[in-house]
Amino acid sequence: MTDTRGPQPQGYDGYASGPLPSEREPQGQGQSAQPYHPPQAYPSPAGGGGTPAAGAAGGAQGAGQQPGVAAVRLPRTGARTTPRTRKARLRVAKADPWSVMKVSFLLSIALGICTVVAAAVLWMVMDAMGVFSTVGGTISEATGSNESNGFDLQSFLSLPRVLIFTSVIAMIDVVLATALATLGAFIYNLSAGFVGGVELTLAEDE
């Protein structure tokens, strides 16, 4: 058998693995040989025309996209939409009486301390303005007689007595405020079981 392929280049292994000319299947009489199409990096758009940019956009869609279909890319505008504020609607279904009692106790103690301090400051200001001496003199003259000097307002409304009286009121306020707040928590839980509780709408800061 005579080899009709002609001289082959040295060192090329592609022909060594391919079939011989005698082993190739002959083509039909009415069938013409198909032209060789080299592989394309990017699929061409429909109709065979188009710009290279359109072909590059179509090839970037991946291997699953059909060739000849160009991707349509919408233009980006510079307008920015206003962000929407997210809101959440919540419902207070139950208030823990123990936590309410602790919070109300601490708040009532702070309120009692503020009451004592405010009373002391107010007494000092009124004493510096001479209110007690003026009012005390008027009361002592009105209630006095030949045998007694009358009622002494300055000794009755002294600073220690005012502070003791204010402290007693503050302690009573602490006990009452704590008890009323705890009782209010129980009443709220009972009412929330019937009507569902207080609804709140929470929103984020813009």
**CB-based contact 69:53 (threshold 8 Å):** no
Q: What is the pLDDT of residues 128-147, one digit of tens each?
A: 888 877 887 777 777 766 56
Please tell me which of 47-61, 95-109, 141-155 the model is most confident about, judged by mean pLDDT: 95-109
Q: How many other C-beta atoms are found inside a 10 Å radius of the C-beta of residue 12?
A: 8
Q: Residue 17 — pLDDT band, cuts 50, 70, 90?
A: low
Q: What totals of helices (H) and strands (E) does the chain contain, helices first?
A: 6, 2
Q: How far is CA 170 from CA 97, 101, 160, 161, 173, in A?
A: 23, 17, 15, 14, 5
Q: What is the pLDDT of residues 85-109, one digit of tens each?
A: 888 888 888 999 999 999 999 999 9
